[in-house]
Amino acid sequence: MTIFKTVGRALVMRLANASPLVGLLICLTLPTLAQDGSGSAPANAQDRRFGSGWNCDIGYRIDGGDCLLIDLPANAYATGRSYGTGWACRRGFEEVSGVTCAAIFVPENAFLMSSGYDWQCERGYRQFRESCVAITLPEHAFLTEDRTGSGWVCDRGFVAEASGCSPIAVPENGYLTNAKYGAAWACERGFAEVDGRCDAIAIPDNAFLDTRSSGPGWRCERGYKATENACSEVEVPENAHLDRDGNSWRCDRGFQVASGQCVLGR
């Protein structure tokens, strides 16, 4: 049957190339050969419910104008699709070379993930190459969901060092930051870190605490400016006003600075 179809197609092409009129007559008189679900439905196929063409029955796949029986390997199921291999591996198996389904290796102390394509270590174990090894939990630590790293983190107030957890030395007037990176502790409000301790910030008159990380820890009130460790009053010349921060001054519109004064602009 396939040989006749092949010869027929070749003959049609030769006649069509020899004369356009002959080719047109052939196309109008000869039945259309089925290609990819078009034309008359072959054996083991059904007409589509909507539109024209046909689909292969479940367990068969399309091959030109025919529906060939799918060679279903062990641990596989028919997908119902008439293209491709027409089958897929069952959960817990993976396709090998497009012809077989091999069981997915699941090591001891592991389980097959819900996707069915990979495995994951049980809680209390971490992945090491293609196996799951027990997590050695040090004192003052707890298990995490990370099964590829160490599998544990230290309790609050402790820091990981080598294979254990050491207590964090927090100075007086300090507190734990709970930060994963950077400083493990910081000073309370009103104190500043000095050589590993928290010293009280000396706030001069006419100043207030400033929480910004840079600077002395305090800032002068509006109308005052920092002078060494004190806040002195800002002397505003005539035709001037305090600037946005309030710790300096600037000339009014139409005036410019000249020798510490504000004079009319030219």
pLDDT, one tens digit per residue, over 87-141 is 899 999 999 998 999 999 999 999 999 989 899 999 999 999 999 999 999 999 9
Asked if 61 and 82 touch (Cβ cutoff 8 Å), the reply is: yes
Q: What is the mean pLDDT of residues 3-17?
A: 41
- Number of domain units in the chain: 2
Instruction: Please provide the DSSP assignment of 198-221 as one string.
Output: EEEP-PPTTEEE---SSSSSEEEP
pLDDT, one tens digit per residue, over 152-194 is 999 999 999 888 999 999 999 999 998 888 889 999 999 999 9
Amino acid 164: pLDDT: 94
* Rounded-to-integer distance, Cα 42 and Cα 63, Å: 11
Q: Tell me, yes or no, whether 70 lies in a domain.
A: yes
C-alpha neighbours within 13 Å on the C-beta side of residue 265: 7
Q: Give 25's contacts (C-beta < 8 A, 6+ positions apart).
A: none
Residue finishing a domain among 84, 103, 122? 103
Predicted structure pTM score: 0.52
Q: Tell me, yes or no, whether 223 lies in a domain.
A: no
Q: Tell me, yes or no, whether 170 lies in a domain.
A: no
For residue 238, what are the CA distances in angstroms to 99, 222, 245? 94, 18, 19
Q: What is the mean pLDDT of residues 11-33?
A: 41
Q: Tell me, yes or no, whether 45 lies in a domain.
A: yes
Q: Which structural domain range is residue 81 located in? A: 31-103
Q: Tell me, yes or no, whether 56 lies in a domain.
A: yes
CA-based torsion, 27, 28, 32, 35: positive or negative: positive
Q: Tell me, yes or no, whether 164 lies in a domain.
A: no
User: Closest Cα to residue 152, out of 141, 168, 163, 139?
Assistant: 141
Q: Tell me, yes or no, whether 91 lies in a domain.
A: yes
Q: Tell me, yes or no, whether 53 lies in a domain.
A: yes
Asked if 182 and 208 touch (Cβ cutoff 8 Å), the reply is: no
Residue finishing a domain among 62, 83, 103? 103
Helix (H, G, I), strand (E, B) or coil at 81: coil
Residue finishing a domain among 103, 138, 159? 103
